[in-house]
């Protein structure tokens, strides 16, 4: 599917940006709306109507809320209708087949329902719902322009894989924003870094995982299994954070400030910390619109446990309609509940290395559930990690280790905080020598140009580069 590849996004941008910059300010939201629809329609043209329907539902729900702002009953009806319709669309397209499969398994029936999943429906549904919920709460003002509201929902840089941008994040920028040379330059740098993460790091380390994933897990050497899942652990980080960087960079070029979505998650010392650093906008969405309305941690210990369990089961289901994702959400929910009850205090008393090792083991086992095709396959792979394949290594393991050791090392380096630490130390030394820190920043355009050239070369040589999170 051309839509879900880096190449389409990469080569679509210049024309859109030129059109956006040269058009009068009052038409820029219309350009965003139109180009968002065109961008989405390239993937699955028929499902652009689902996107438009989402815009229509929440726009008119918001207008009615504003018109009857003093009538709490009507406002609540508008909210409920909007949520039911939004979640109904999400449920029909994302979970109908899953429900049918489970009914067939339980009752021996033979329902066959297969609906292609609209790309990014989980993202744009949550994004649009945040508007209507915040409007109901009185946290934002109503958007009376359908074009401006739809420009927010269909904004192509982040519509299909986040970050999840809530309306209040860009409310003022929708009505008035400035395009500056500094913002545009920063945006280009951020976009190119994200592009390089995807096509240079994620794609290369992902090739190792694809090779291991295709193996027979029952006879997979432990070393091969660990190399494979470590590769996927790095791949999904660079793939997803790379897209987020590209989206944030594009936002800067268009005059928007999108929220950050990642903050070095693989340096975390606990699972709770990991989820404060990974997919930040999703975690904040569930916290503000589900966990806190359920009562959060205000109702005592066991209600807190209940609320966490609900949030994490739904987080798993949000990612996909399969028991693997349900178990994935339950896994992290159990660990976070354990950390809330007792494990967190224990980790604080131990040296940080133990917290990091525990967290990485928990995350890696979670990625096995996330990426394998069935629960039996997941447990088969986990068994291989711990020697069920019958051997620690073989010739193939050592060959993979030799072939990918450099790529793994580079990915580990850039997934850590080492690059930032190195830069700060280097700038500090320059300052000590009487050299202004600005001199170091003069090299940034050159680095950006080198990364752009290298990424373009990879795109020319590779025919298809899908983003992993476009599936959600």
Please check whether residues 97 and 196 belong to one and the same domain. Answer: no
pLDDT tens across 209-246, in order? 999 999 999 999 999 999 999 999 999 999 999 999 99
**What is the C-alpha separation between 147 and 143, in angstroms, rounded?**
10
Residue 329 has which token pair?
Answer: 């959400």
Please check whether residues 167 and 195 belong to one and the same domain. Answer: no
Ramachandran class of 322: left when φ > 0, alpha when ψ lies in -120 to 50, beta otherwise: beta
Please check whether residues 152 and 32 belong to one and the same domain. Answer: yes
Residue 68 has which token pair?
Answer: 């009857």
pLDDT tens across 234-285, in order? 999 999 999 999 999 999 999 999 999 999 999 999 999 999 999 999 999 9
Which pLDDT score, from 0 to 100, does residue 440 have?
A: 59
Distance of CA 454 to the CA centre of its chain: 24
Per-residue pLDDT band for 458 (boundaries 50, 70, 90) equals confident
What is the average pLDDT score of the chain?
A: 88
3-state secondary structure of 78: helix
Closest CA to 145 of 43, 30, 238, 36: 30
Q: Which residue has the higher pLDDT, 432 or 320?
A: 320
Domain contains 23? yes
Please check whether residues 324 and 260 belong to one and the same domain. Answer: yes
- DSSP 8-state symbol, 112: -
Please check whether residues 64 and 114 belong to one and the same domain. Answer: yes
3-state secondary structure of 466: strand
Query: For the residues 320-339, what does the mean pLDDT come to?
Result: 95
Domain contains 262? yes
**What is the C-alpha separation between 336 and 471, in angstroms, rounded?**
26
pLDDT tens across 72-101, in order? 999 999 999 999 999 999 998 898 888 888
Domain contains 317? yes
Please check whether residues 127 and 208 belong to one and the same domain. Answer: no
Q: Give the bridge partners for 5, in sequence order.
A: 466
In the chain, the number of structural domains is 2
Domain contains 352? yes
Please check whether residues 256 and 146 belong to one and the same domain. Answer: no
Q: Give the bridge partners for 428, in sequence order.
A: none
- Taking a C-beta distance cutoff of 8 angstroms, is the pair 398, 227 a contact? no
Please check whether residues 117 and 232 belong to one and the same domain. Answer: no
- Domain ends where: 415, 431, 447? 415
Domain contains 286? yes
Catalytic residue numbers, as ranges: 319
Which of the residue ranges 80-89, 153-162, 186-195, 362-371 would you say has the lowest mean pLDDT? 153-162
- Taking a C-beta distance cutoff of 8 angstroms, is the pair 195, 455 a contact? yes
CA 407, 408, 411, 415: dihedral to nearest 10 degrees? 180
Closest CA to 54 of 128, 119, 123: 128
Please check whether residues 351 and 210 belong to one and the same domain. Answer: yes
**What is the C-alpha separation between 408 and 281, in angstroms, rounded?**
28
Closest CA to 140 of 85, 86, 66, 80: 66
- DSSP 8-state symbol, 2: G
Its domain, for residue 47, covers 2-177
Domain contains 425? no
Which of the residue ranges 140-149, 288-297, 371-380, 445-454 would you say has the lowest mean pLDDT? 445-454
3-state secondary structure of 422: helix
Please check whether residues 198 and 307 belong to one and the same domain. Answer: yes
End-to-end CA distance of the chain: 15
**What is the C-alpha separation between 354 and 412, in angstroms, rounded?**
18
Angle between helix axes 444-461 and 6-22 (nearest 10 degrees) is 130
- Taking a C-beta distance cutoff of 8 angstroms, is the pair 404, 203 a contact? no
Which pLDDT score, from 0 to 100, does residue 425 have?
A: 78
- Domain ends where: 177, 192, 227? 177
Domain contains 470? no
Per-residue pLDDT band for 3 (boundaries 50, 70, 90) equals very low
Residue 372 has pLDDT above 90, yes or no: yes
Domain contains 435? no
**What is the C-alpha separation between 69 and 74, in angstroms, rounded?**
8
pLDDT tens across 10-65, in order? 666 777 888 888 888 889 999 999 888 888 877 667 888 989 999 999 999 999 99
Query: For the residues 317-345, what does the mean pLDDT come to?
Result: 94
Which pLDDT score, from 0 to 100, does residue 1 have?
A: 41
- Domain ends where: 127, 156, 177? 177
Per-residue pLDDT band for 434 (boundaries 50, 70, 90) equals low
Please check whether residues 230 and 360 belong to one and the same domain. Answer: yes
Residues contacting 430, CB < 8 A, separation 6+: 436, 437, 439, 440
Please check whether residues 131 and 257 belong to one and the same domain. Answer: no
Residue showing tokens 């109901």: 136
Residue 445 has which token pair?
Answer: 């355009």
**According to DSSP H, which parts of 260-351 are helical?**
271-277, 280-286, 292-294, 301-319, 323-338, 344-349
């Amino acid at each position: 599917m051309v839509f879900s590849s880096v190449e389409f996004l990469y080569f679509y941008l210049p024309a859109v940006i030129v059109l956006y910059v040269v058009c009068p300010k009052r038409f820029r939201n219309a350009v965003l709306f139109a180009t968002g629809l065109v961008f989405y329609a390239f993937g699955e043209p028929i499902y652009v109507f689902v996107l438009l329907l989402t815009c229509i539902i929440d726009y008119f729900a918001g207008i009615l809320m504003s018109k009857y702002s003093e009538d709490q009953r009507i406002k609540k009806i508008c909210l409920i209708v909007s949520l039911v319709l939004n979640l109904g669309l999400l449920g029909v397209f994302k979970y109908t087949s899953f429900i049918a499969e489970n009914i067939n398994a339980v009752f021996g029936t033979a329902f066959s329902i297969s609906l292609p999943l609209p790309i990014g429906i989980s993202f744009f549904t949550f994004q649009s719902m945040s508007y209507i919920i915040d409007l109901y709460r009185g946290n934002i003002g109503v958007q009376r322009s359908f074009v401006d509201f739809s420009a927010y929902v269909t904004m192509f840089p982040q519509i299909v894989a986040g970050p999840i941008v809530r309306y209040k994040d860009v409310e003022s920028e929708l009505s008035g924003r400035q395009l500056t040379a500094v913002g545009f330059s920063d945006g280009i740098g951020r976009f190119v870094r994200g592009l390089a993460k995807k096509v240079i790091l994620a794609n290369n380390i992902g090739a190792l995982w694809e090779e291991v994933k295709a193996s027979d897990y029952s006879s997979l050497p432990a070393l091969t299994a660990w190399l494979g899942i470590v590769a996927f652990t790095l791949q999904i980080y660079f793939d997803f954070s790379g897209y987020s960087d590209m989206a944030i960079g594009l936002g800067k070029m268009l005059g928007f400030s999108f929220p950050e979505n990642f903050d070095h998650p693989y340096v975390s010392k606990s699972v709770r910390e990991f989820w404060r650093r990974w997919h930040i906008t999703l975690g904040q969405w569930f916290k503000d619109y589900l966990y806190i309305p359920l009562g959060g941690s205000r109702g005592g210990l066991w209600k807190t446990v209940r609320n966490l369990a609900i949030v994490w089961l739904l987080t798993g289901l949000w990612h996909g309609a399969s028991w693997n994702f349900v178990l994935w959400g339950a896994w992290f929910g159990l660990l976070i509940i354990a950390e809330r009850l007792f494990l967190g205090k224990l980790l604080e008393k131990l040296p940080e290395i133990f917290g990091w090792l525990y967290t990485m083991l928990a995350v890696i086992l979670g990625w096995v559930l996330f990426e394998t095709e069935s629960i039996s396959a997941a447990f088969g792979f986990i068994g291989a990690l711990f020697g069920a394949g019958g051997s620690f290594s073989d010739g193939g393991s050592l060959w993979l280790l030799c072939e990918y050791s450099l790529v793994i090392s580079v990915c580990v380096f850039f997934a850590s905080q080492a690059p930032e630490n190195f830069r700060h130390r280097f700038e500090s030394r320059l300052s000590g020598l009487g050299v202004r820190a600005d001199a170091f920043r003069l090299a940034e355009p050159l680095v950006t140009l080198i990364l752009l050239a290298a990424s373009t070369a990879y795109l020319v040589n590779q025919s298809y580069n899908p983003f992993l999170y476009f599936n959600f």
